[in-house]
Structure 1
Amino acid sequence: MNPVTTPNETTETPAEATFVPALDPSTPLSPSAPDREASAAARRAARTDAGERRRIDPSRRVADAPLSAVPHLSQDDLDAFGREMERIRAKHVADLGERDATYIRKVIKAQRRLEIGGRIALELGFIPPFWLAGVAALSASKILDNMEIGHNVMHGQYDWMQDEELNGRTFEWDTACPADQWRHSHNYMHHTHTNIVGKDRDVGYGILRMSDDQPWEPYFLGNPVYASLLALLFEYGVALHDLEVEDARYGRWDWKARLPMMQAIWHKVRRQAGKDYLLFPALAGPFFPVVLAGNATANVVRNLWTFSIIFCGHFPDGVEEFTVEETAEETRGGWYVRQLLGSSNLTGGKLFHVMSGNLSFQIEHHLFPDIPAHRYAEISDEVREVCERYGLQYNGGPLPYQLFTVARKIVRLAWPTGAEADAFVASETGGRLAKTVVRTLRGATRAVRAAV
C-alpha cells in the first residue's frame, strides 16, 4: 500500500508503508447533537482540557435531570462525559496503523480458508465426520464474514486504509440482506436512535415487543413464537427490516413505494440461495441432498449465533430504553450516555470475542462504531474507569445468563399487565372479538391470582 501524503508534503516517500487515518479525531460521532456550553471559549477550553476527571456521587439528585435513567447527572455532567469519550476516541483514531491492518487481513485469510475447507469437506459429506467438519467450518466462515468482517468493515472501521476490498461504502457480505439497506437501517437508524422507542426499529425489529414503552396489543401474545422464528431465519428478518412490514398490521403498508427495495432483496436472496442451495450441492452430484443439508445447517447456525449476540447486547436486564421526548434536545454528551445505557457487554475469552465480531463489547461498539472492533477490549478498561467516576452502570455478563434474561423478557412482554389489558379494551383500536378475548383473559388472570 502506498503511503498517504498531504498536498503540501514534499518529503521523499519512506521505504515502509505508513498508515494515515482518514478519520478526524476531533470530529464528534454525533455532530447533529450540540455540546451546550456557555461560550465558544468554554467549548475550546473543555475540548483541550485532557485533565478533566470528574467524580460524581451517584446518590445525588439533579433537578430536571435530562435523562430519567441517570437522575444524578446534570446537562453539564453529560457534556463532560461526552468530552471524555471523545478524548478516548481521538486517542485511538490517531493510533490506527499496521497492527489494525494486519489483524483484519489475518481474519479475512482465516475466513476464506474456513469457507474453502468447509465446502470441500461438505462435498465429501456422505462420510459423516466430513459432513460435521464441513458444517462447523462453513458455519465459522459465515459468522466471521458477517460479524468480524462485514459488520465492522461496513461501519467504516478500515476506510482509512484506502483498500477497496475494505471500503465500508461498497462492501457486500454473505447474507440475505443487501449491504446498502443494512448501512441505512443499522449504521444510520439504529446507531443514531439507539433504544429510542418509536425511532430505533431494532427495538423488536418490527416483529417483537421488547420494551414496556411499546403499547401492548393481542398480536404480541405470539412474542415467543416470533422470536424463535426470527432467531432461526435471522438473515431474512434483517433483510426485511427496512420494508417496515409491521405497518401492514395497521393498513399503512404501501407496496408500490417499497417495490425497488423488494426487488433488491429478491436479487440478493436469489443469489445467496442459488449459491448455497443449488450451485454447491449440484457439484456433489448424487449427494446433492447431503451438501444442501450441510449448507442449510451452517446458515441456521450463523443465524442463531448472530441473533444471540445481538439480542444479548441490546435487550438483557439492565439495558435502558428512552422516549422520543427525553431525547428531543439531546446533546453529544447525552448521545454518548444513551449509547452506554442502551447496550450490554458479554464476558468471554479471545476466541469468543473474535467470533462475536467483538460485539461482545457492545458498549464500546455503540460509543465508537468507527474504531476497529479488535481494540474494544483495551478501550473497555478506559470506558469502565470513566463510568465508575460518573456513577454510571456498565452492563455485562456471560452469554448463557444474558440469553436467559432476554428470553424471560420476550415471554414477560407477550402477556399484558392488568393496566395494559384495561387500556387496550378501553382504546379505539382493536376489534370487538379481540377485546372480548382480552377481557376473558383478564378475568381468568384475576381469578387465578385470587385463588392463589
Structure 2
Amino acid sequence: MNNRPDRELSPAELQAFGAELDALRRRTLGDLSEADARYIRRVRGAVRLCCWSGRALLMFGWFPPTWLLGSLLLGLGKILENMELGHNVMHGQYDWMNDPEFAGRQYEWDIVGPADFWRHTHNHVHHSYTNVLGMDDDVGYGVVRLFPEQRWKPFYRWQPLWVTIQALLFQYAVAIQHLRLDQLLKGRIGQDEVRPLARRFGAKLARQWGKDYLAFPLLALLLGANALAVLAGNLLANLLRNLWTFLVIFCGHFTEQAAVFAPAVLQGETRGHWYLRQLRGSSNLSGGPLLHILTGNLSHQIEHHLFPDLPARRYAELAREVRQIAARYGQHYNCGSLWAQFGTVLRRIWIYRLPAAGRA
C-alpha cells in the first residue's frame, strides 16, 4: 500500500497551497531570459556533437576503443536528444523564444514514435490525469501491476519478464501506446480509428530504421568501412537510450511512496487539489548536475509534474522552494538516490505480480 506521511489539507489550506505554487510559477515565467535560450541551444549543439562524433568513430570498424566509444557517444547523443532536448521542447518550455527549431508543436524527435503521438498520450493525457487509475495509461503501461489498487490479471504473474522486454524496447512501447491496441482488442474502438495511426507509426518507424540501420551502414560500405560494426553500434546506442529512459521514467512514477488515485478524485478538483496530486504521485532523484542533465531534469519529476511548461533547467532551483512549501503544509517530498528509488520499483514489480499482494 502507499505509505506517505501526508497531512490532509482543509479547503482553505488547499487554496493557499495552490496559490503559493501558482505564484512560484509566475515568478519563474517572468524571469526567463536569454540565458535559458543559450542553454537549450548548447544542448542542441551537444546532441549534434555527440551523435556525429559517435557515428564517425563507428566508421573505424570493430577496433574496440573506437567502436565502444563511438557507440557510447551516439547513445549519449540520443539520450540527450530524447530527454533534455526533445521531451522538454515538446512540452512548450521554449515556445517563448519564437524559434521554429524549439517550437513545441513542431519538434520531431529521434525515436520511432511520432512526436504528435507523444504530445497527446504524455503532454495531454498523462499530465492531466497523473496517476489516476483508468485515466492515466502510464500507470503500468497496461502490462505491469505496480500498485495494489490495480485490479489483478493473470498475465501479471509474468510481469518481471514483460518489464524486461519493455525496458529493452522502451521506445516501441511508448510509440504503440497511442495506438490503443487494448481498446481495439476489447472492441471499444474500430480498425478505422487505428489504421491511420498505424500508418503514421509505420512511416516514422521506416524513417528511423532507414537512418540507423540502412543509411549509415550503407555509407560505411561506400567508405570502405565495416557496415556490420556501424549497424551494431547503432543498435547498442538505441538500446542504451531505451534502458536509460525506462529507468528514469519508472523511478519518477512508481517508487514505494508514489501514490495512485481513484477516478473520483477528479470530481470538483481545484488547482490546489491538482498540485497536491502531482506532488503525491511523483518521485525525485537526488544527484549532481550530470544526473540531472542526463535525465532531462526528470530527476526533478515532482517539479516537472507541477510545472511541465517551465524550462527544465529551472527545476533544481524550484525544488528548493517546492520542498519548503510542501513542508509548510505537512506534505512528504519524495526524494532519494537513483538506485534506492529503483530498488523500490523492482520490489513493487515483484510483489504485485501476485493477487495476494492486493485486491484481486
- Alignment TM-score, normalising by the size of structure 1: 0.76
The alpha carbon displacement at 1:254 in A equals 2.7
Stretch moving more, 232-241 or 123-132? 123-132
* AA partner of residue 307 (structure 2): F
Cα distance in structure 2, aligned partners of 1:176 and 1:312 = 23
Q: Secondary structure, in 3 states, of the residue corresponding to 1:417?
A: helix
Q: Does 1:163 align with 2:99?
A: yes
* AA partner of residue 413 (structure 1): Y
Cα distance in structure 2, aligned partners of 1:248 and 1:170 = 29
Q: Match for 2:257 among 318, 321, 345?
A: 318
The alpha carbon displacement at 1:71 in A equals 5.2
Change (3 A) 1:264 1:232: same
Cα distance in structure 2, aligned partners of 1:351 and 1:291 = 28
- 2:351 match: 412
**1:50-61 residue pairs with structure 2 within 5 A?**
none
* AA partner of residue 274 (structure 1): G
Stretch moving more, 330-339 or 279-288? 279-288
Q: Secondary structure, in 3 states, of the residue corresponding to 2:285?
A: strand
Q: Is contact 2:91-2:309 (8 Å) kept?
A: yes
Q: Does 1:236 align with 2:175?
A: no
The alpha carbon displacement at 1:223 in A equals 1.0
**1:20-419 residue pairs with structure 2 within 5 A?**
70=6, 72-247=8-183, 250-252=186-188, 254-285=190-221, 287-417=226-356
The alpha carbon displacement at 1:411 in A equals 1.3
Stretch moving more, 146-155 or 118-127? 118-127
The alpha carbon displacement at 1:213 in A equals 1.6
Change (3 A) 1:418 1:201: closer
Q: Is contact 2:351-2:357 (8 Å) kept?
A: no
The alpha carbon displacement at 1:300 in A equals 0.4
Alignment gaps of 5+ in structure 2: none
Q: Is contact 1:312-1:344 (8 Å) kept?
A: yes
Q: Is contact 2:5-2:332 (8 Å) kept?
A: no
Cα distance in structure 1, aligned partners of 2:287 and 2:65 = 28
The alpha carbon displacement at 1:255 in A equals 2.5
The alpha carbon displacement at 1:226 in A equals 0.9
Alignment gaps of 5+ in structure 1: 1-67, 422-452
> How many aligned residue pairs are there?
354
* AA partner of residue 186 (structure 1): H
Higher relative contact order (CA 8 A, sep 6+): 2
- 1:37 match: none
The alpha carbon displacement at 1:401 in A equals 1.2
Greater Rg by CA: 1
Cα distance in structure 1, aligned partners of 2:266 and 2:200 = 33
* AA partner of residue 260 (structure 1): P
Q: Is contact 1:347-1:397 (8 Å) kept?
A: yes
The alpha carbon displacement at 1:329 in A equals 1.5
Cα distance in structure 1, aligned partners of 2:34 and 2:188 = 51
Q: Is contact 1:111-1:145 (8 Å) kept?
A: yes
Q: Secondary structure, in 3 states, of the residue corresponding to 1:346?
A: strand
Provide Cα deviations, 1:219-272, integer angstroms capped at 9, x if missing partner.
211211111011000000000011122335645453221111111111001100
Q: Is contact 1:207-1:246 (8 Å) kept?
A: no
Aligned-pair Cα RMSD in Å: 1.5
Cα distance in structure 2, aligned partners of 1:103 and 1:245 = 39
Cα distance in structure 1, aligned partners of 2:243 and 2:48 = 21
Provide Cα deviations, 1:405-446, integer angstroms capped at 9, x if missing partner.
11110111111117745xxxxxxxxxxxxxxxxxxxxxxxxx
- 1:48 match: none
Cα distance in structure 2, aligned partners of 1:299 and 1:223 = 23
- 1:437 match: none
Cα distance in structure 1, aligned partners of 2:61 and 2:18 = 53
The alpha carbon displacement at 1:150 in A equals 0.2
The alpha carbon displacement at 1:70 in A equals 4.6
* AA partner of residue 360 (structure 1): S
- Alignment TM-score, normalising by the size of structure 2: 0.95
Cα distance in structure 1, aligned partners of 2:95 and 2:52 = 27
Cα distance in structure 1, aligned partners of 2:330 and 2:323 = 10
* AA partner of residue 302 (structure 2): I
Change (3 A) 1:151 1:419: closer
Cα distance in structure 1, aligned partners of 2:60 and 2:146 = 43
Q: Secondary structure, in 3 states, of the residue corresponding to 1:397?
A: strand
Change (3 A) 1:207 1:254: farther
* AA partner of residue 401 (structure 1): A
Stretch moving more, 130-139 or 250-259? 250-259
* AA partner of residue 349 (structure 1): G
Larger proportion of helix: 2
